[in-house]
Structure 1
Amino acid sequence: MPTITKLYTMEEASQHNTNEDCWVVIDGKVYDVSSYLDEHPGGDDVLLRATGKDATDEFEDAGHSKTARELMEQFCIGEFLEMPPPIPELEIVSKNQEFKNLPHKILNMSKQYWAVPVAVVGLSVAIGFLYLRKK
């Protein structure tokens, strides 16, 4: 009969972040290392800093031995249930609706950016005046 593995979310694992109750997530598994904090060669603060996040990279960077990897199996209490990222809500706009508001959008833009056409016209008039004056 297959063993049923308990699934934990990161929120659940991150709530266990004290010296008396410490869980870490490594390689998709959740470990209750509360009883190992005092024995950990790197100190308990290393394990406490690993709570509330996936600590796989930190574990791999530390270069743990095969013995350490075997030892950690006795602390495994379940697997990490990775929640999928939320799907953004899409806004559906019909083409008719898009063109319906076009004159209103153009009018608003012309009110907002009136300085650019005025500057172009003013500069053109000034250049034209200087050109005619030289003749």
Structure 2
Amino acid sequence: MPTLTKLYTMQEASQHNTKDNCWVVIDGKVYDVSTYLDDHPGGDDVLLAATGRDATEDFEEAGHSKTAREEMRALCIGEVDTTSSDIPELEIFPENQPPGYPKKLANLTKQYWAVPVAVVGISVVIGVLYLRKK
């Protein structure tokens, strides 16, 4: 007997966007990651930022391991209903500001702060060592 798959609209999936109730959509599948937020190696803010949209590209760019993909199977609760004609609600932004700019900038600064700090730290160490030799 085949297993019935629950279908969800993107709008329905996007409403589950809190720390206590968090769903993400990856490759057309809906995952309830609420219980996994504290265990996610990238932090819960990465998963919370992925709600409300298709996070497939973000997931693939992060380079998840085979083990991570296997663990996802247990969190899958259904699939996105592609026959639905959901139209997302439009947001109004000032002309000079691109949509989602503050949120994207905040996410980048949270995720990638270590790289510039490491570059500066290594540069200082190399500079000190170079000056000591002279």
The SS at the match of 1:31 is strand
Moved over 4 A (4+): none
The SS at the match of 1:53 is coil
Cross-structure match for 1:22: 22
Provide TM-score, normalisation by structure 2.
0.62
Check conservation: 2:19, 2:34, Cα contact below 8 A.
yes
1:1-135 correspondence to structure 2 within 5 Å: 1-82=1-82, 83-84=84-85
* Residues 23-63 of structure 1 deviation map (CA, whole Å, 9 limit, x = unaligned): 00000100000000000000000000110000000000000
* Residues 71-101 of structure 1 deviation map (CA, whole Å, 9 limit, x = unaligned): 0110000001123588xxxxxxxxxxxxxxx
The SS at the match of 2:17 is coil
Structure 2 runs not aligned, ≥5 long: 88-134
Cross-structure match for 1:103: none
Counterparts of 1:7 and 1:57, CA distance in 2: 21
Q: Per the alignment, do residues 24 and 85 of structure 1 end up closer, same or farther by CA in structure 2, a change over 3 Å counting?
A: closer
Provide TM-score, normalisation by structure 1.
0.61
Counterparts of 2:36 and 2:28, CA distance in 1: 20
Counterparts of 1:16 and 1:81, CA distance in 2: 16
The one-letter code of the counterpart of 2:76 is C
Check conservation: 2:13, 2:25, Cα contact below 8 A.
yes
Aligned length: 86
CA root-mean-square deviation: 1.3
Structure 1 runs not aligned, ≥5 long: 87-135
